[in-house]
Amino acid sequence: MGPLLYLFTHPSLANGLSPYLAKGRVRFESFSSADKLLSAVKSKPAFLALVDLDLPGAMETVMSLHALQPSLKPWLGLISLGEPEFTQGWSEAFWFQSPAQPQHLGSQIGLLLKLVEANGKAKNLQNRLDQEEESRLASEKQLKAFGNQLEQQVTTRTRQLALELEELKRQNSGSSQTKDLVQERLLEDLLDSLPISIYLKDPQGKVILANREFCQLLGKDKDQIFGRSFSSLLDLEAAGEDLHTDRQALETPKGLRFEETLNLKGKRLELYRGKFPFWIEGLPEAHLLGYVLEITDKKRLETKLSQTQKLEALGTMAGGIAHDFNNLLFAMILNLNLIKKANPDNPKTLAYADRTLEAGLRAKDLTKQILAFSRQQERRMEQVDVSKVLDEAYGLIRTGTEKNILIERHYRCPNPCVMGDPSQIHRVIMNLTGNAAFALKDRGGRIDLILEEWKITAQDTLAHDLKPGDYLRLAVTDNGPGIDPKIMPRIFDPFFSTKSSDEGSGLGLSVVLGILQSHKGHILCQSTLGKGTVFEVYLPLVQNDLANPPLAQVNQGEASALSQGAKILLVDDEVLVLEAMTDLLTSEGFVVSSFCDSIAALKEFLGHAFEYDLVISDQSMPHLSGLELAQALTKARKELPVILYSGFNQQLTEQSALKAGAKALLPKPIEQELLLSTIANLLPNRQQHG
């Protein structure tokens, strides 16, 4: 079910908003009185209440809505001639100037819905982080209790051992077994059995007790730790900080608990530490009892969760904005073509229009890149032409790469088709190429992207990881500094990275490996210091049905004169696009019936099914999508030519368009020459019609 909107407006505005709200899957209820609106909000909260302040009781109702609890309080859309002063400081209120236009208002509500969804995701992320914080505090509480219990146990046991020591000294003065007995009892009974790192320092700061976990944390043997201070175990800065926290802990009766980052055994570790003063009866100065818990993985997961949620929200918002922009761009390009057609003898007008068209086509490419970035759909396996995915990724790669880096593409496979998820294959290409560009960022260089067919036999070394057969090999090569052989075995490990924290998450290659394994593929890496690196991706080739798709194959050019005069049913819910396409097709000699409602278009066709030569429809529409409309039309008349177009839709592929009965699938915004030549291609025998 979609989000819920409440309306307290003039009935005419509610009726006008209906198609725009339905397009965004927004459910809405309209109320005739302010009291009914207020009661509805209290019983069934909505994301937005749209109120016309000129209606009776509206002002008082808005005040009541603002005063509701946060869990019930909706966003408020207020319609009036001037912005009401009393809403200043209301974070949930938006003002729309009266009289409000349904199309503009519907667009603004759509953007607000995206904002609310992004805000909801941010709140969910905050809730998850709050839960993590609660878990951390609970763990800290448990550790504190454990530390207190441990302190009591150590105190009691130490007293017992001291008494035993005195007794042993009395019974066997000078026996060398005394020290061994005390040390063995302490180590075996108290320290080595503990699952966290524990140590004890004497008043001079030297380690006199430590368990196995603590030794493993430092990467040293016990004889390298006992009797030594931290200044000889840690680097100078870390040792100084440790001495500072020792002093703080000794001055605090309840001890000290804190998080810190240390470089140990060549690794950067996140640690949770506790330090407590430890008094031994009969001694004038306190010892220091400490414990250490490594929380590196927990911290990394928290950071990754935050980054993933932010990127998801950003991608969703970017995709929505780019999709709306695509529709406006389409209308602009169509109208520019009409301007050119209306002024064939005006060189200045033609030049201005051509320059604007060129800018529009560049904007089209930019929108395509934004939409590629924003892909967040679940994995869907289909036939993918990897050369097209590589071309799409190349635009993003080239834009984000230093100009002193040359990037070349080499296509050596005529049909580079695999079964896979295009968005995930896109991610693999972006990651591998991004790593190569990062390696060259300081010195410049060259990156080569190679697609070629590769046959694997049972005798090949690759047969250990892949079944013998035909594969597509994607090679990403660079002439950078290469990878250190010491770290080569770890490059596919999660969280391993040679980049700093602000340059990468350390998840890239591990994600690439996971994607390729889910696609029954494989990846290899070869690198030589000072010469460069090659990443080789292998994916099973499939019979390329897309090489000769059953959808219409067209040659760009002017529409055939034979197709002129044909009757076309045009369907698009965007009025600007619908009007511009109608004018363009009419100027080319076609007879056009246009509809902004897909259900109305279907009713028209069913009543005059054999009067229409061709149908052109957008994909993303309320009520019936383009696919659903094509299915209904071709069910009524099987041979009907249907052209679908779309800017970005996860469900619309060449296979799904063909299955629905469409004969052509075009990308939006459509270039005029491609549209007209597609129509001509689908109507080659116009002279025989009728």
Please report, for the domain that includes residue 256, its CATH number: 3.30.450.20
Same structural domain, 542 and 586 = no
**Is 349 within the bounds of a domain?**
no
Q: Is the same domain home to 290 and 190?
A: yes
Containing 291, the helix (H) or strand (E) segment is: strand 287-294
On whether both 155 and 278 belong to a single domain, the answer is yes
Shared-domain flag, residues 470 and 592 = no
Buried-exposed string 55-68: b where 16+ CB fall within 10 A, e elsewhere: beebbebbebbeee
Angle at 99 between CA 83 and CA 37, to 5 degrees: 75
What residue type is 413 in one-letter code? C
Q: What whole-number distance in Å separates Cα of residue 297 and Cα of residue 217?
A: 15
- The answer to whether 619 touches 645, Cβ cutoff 8 Å, is yes
Q: Which residue has the higher pLDDT, 162 or 304?
A: 304
Q: How many domains does the chain have?
A: 4
Asked if residue 687 has pLDDT above 50, the reply is: no
pTM above 0.85, yes or no: no
Report yes or no on 367 lying in a domain: no
Query: What pLDDT, in 10s, does the model give residues 63-101?
Result: 888 888 777 778 888 888 877 877 777 767 778 788 878
Is it the case that residue 377 has pLDDT exceeding 90?
A: no
Radius of gyration of the chain (CA): 35
Q: Is residue 300 part of a domain?
A: no
Count Cβ neighbours within 10 Å for each residue of 274-289 and write b for 16 or more, e otherwise: bbbbbeeeeeeebbbb
pLDDT at residue 378 tops 80: no
Same domain, 151 and 11: no
Q: pLDDT at residue 526 above 70?
A: yes
CA 646 to chain centre: 22
Residues 516 and 384 in one domain: yes
Residue 123 domain-assigned?
Answer: no
Q: Is 667 exposed, middle or buried (0-12, 13-18, 19+ CB in 10 A)?
A: middle
Q: 407 with 469, same domain?
A: yes
Structure tokens at 211: 């368990």
SS3 412: coil
Domain range for 679 is 561-688
Residue 312 belongs to some domain of the structure: no
Per-residue model confidence (pLDDT) at position 650: 53
DSSP summary character for residue 206: B
Q: What pairs with residue 292 in β-bridges?
A: 197, 273
The CATH number given to whatever domain includes residue 666 is: 3.40.50.2300
Residue among 268, 320, 265, 274 nearest 293 (CA): 274
396 or 272, higher pLDDT: 272
Q: Per residue in 430-457, is it b (16+ CB within 10 Å) or e — as a string?
A: bbbbbbbbbbbeeeebebbbbbeebebe
Of 244, 277, 294, the residue at which a domain comes to its end is 294
Average pLDDT, the chain: 81
Task: Tell me the CATH number at 455.
Answer: 3.30.565.10
Contact 452, 473 (CB under 8 A): yes
Same domain, 395 and 520: yes
pLDDT of residue 627: 93
For residues 669 and 364, is the Cβ–Cβ distance under 8 A? yes
Q: What are phi and psi of 599, to 5 degrees?
A: -70, -40
Per-residue confidence at 368, pLDDT binned at 50, 70, 90? low
Same domain, 595 and 493: no
| Domain-embedded: residue 387 | yes
Listed residues 274, 294, 314: the one ending a domain: 294
- Cα–Cα dist 175/101, whole Å: 99
**357 in a domain, yes or no?**
no
Contacts of 218 (CB under 8 A, 6+ apart): 225, 233, 264, 265
Domain final residue pick, 251, 278, 294: 294
- What span, in angstroms and rounded, lies between the C-alpha atoms of 215 and 198? 9
Among residues 481, 470, 421, the alpha carbon closest in space to that of 653 is found at: 421
The residues, any chain, with a CB within 8 Å of residue 32's CB and separated by 6 or more, are none
Inside any domain, residue 38: yes
Instruction: For residues 389 and 529, state if they share a domain.
Output: yes
Predicted confidence (pLDDT) per residue in 461-472, tens digit:
776 788 899 999
400-404, 544-548, 680-684: lowest mean pLDDT where?
Answer: 544-548
**Same domain, yes or no: 400 and 424:** yes
428 neighbors 512 (Cβ within 8 angstroms): yes
Domain match, 479 and 598 both: no
